[in-house]
Structure 1
Amino acid sequence: MRDKKVQFIVEAAAIAAIYVVLTVVFSAISFGEVQLRFSEALTILPYFTPAAIPGLFVGCLIGNLFGGAIPLDIIFGSLATLIGACGTYALRKQNKFLAPVSPIVANTIVVPLVLFYGYGVNIPIPLQMLTVGLGEVLSCGVLGMILLFALEKYRGVIFKRHAA
């Protein structure tokens, strides 16, 4: 029992750390009206392990904090990632191609509102939804699915089975 808890914490912490590193290293393109967050490719990880849910949330929170985001962005951007991760986990048994849908939708809706109301970006919200959504499709839909197919071969080796 204790080993499973430790494994869960280790997986969550590793995922959070990778998310932070990817967000900060690529901060020039991770923030703004047109953004491509390579770290968002990790939002497919709840397909493999529930430990990814807190890992992605904490990683996004810390990444936004280190990236110089405003409090509104730190809170709601991280919540969007949390919602997306929960959706990926909920859809994991349906079809692997649904894994990136929840993160794409959550961030396409939330991030433009944060940009408009928090940062005062004077671009119509629907246009921001388009640009943020395209970035999410690239990061979650394309890069995330590449990651999913690569990790699927090593499912039992990388991520230990957790009680669902």
Structure 2
Amino acid sequence: MDNKKEVSTETVQKLREETGAGVMDCYKALTEAKNDFDEAVKIIKEKGFVKMEHRADRATGAGCVRSYVHNDRIGVLLELRAETDFVVRSEPFQNLARELTMQIAASAPSTVEELLSQPYIKDESKLVKDILTEVVAKTGENITIGQFYRIEV
């Protein structure tokens, strides 16, 4: 008799909603994790990082400029790029742009590398690069931070 539990569609859907990964990726992760949801999330995130490395060479020809002003004293301009306009207009991309501008306002990084290596202000157990990786996994496209400016009065 087989000791494997069957992966339910509800669990696959829940994992998909949490991670943004594809249905088959979620199914494979749950199978590999023997239906352990938290372990499957870890597997998806690890594989998402691997996929991000494969996407890193793809050109990011579309993008947006996002601004943020905090208490009329700190202003941020951010250039965030993706491969297509479709992703640039998507909710995950727009949320990422908003979160990054607030991160820059709060933590005043001087370079993109410094920004990516900072703890995320809303969840210090994650780095900013982890948040970027999650959105890359959700959208399936390379996303890059072009440039940013922070002005404080």
More strand by share: 2
Rg: which structure is higher? 2
More helix by share: 1
Same fold (TM > 0.5) = no
Report the TM-score range of the alignment, normalised by the length of the smaller protein: under 0.3
> Structure 1 length as normaliser, TM-score?
0.25
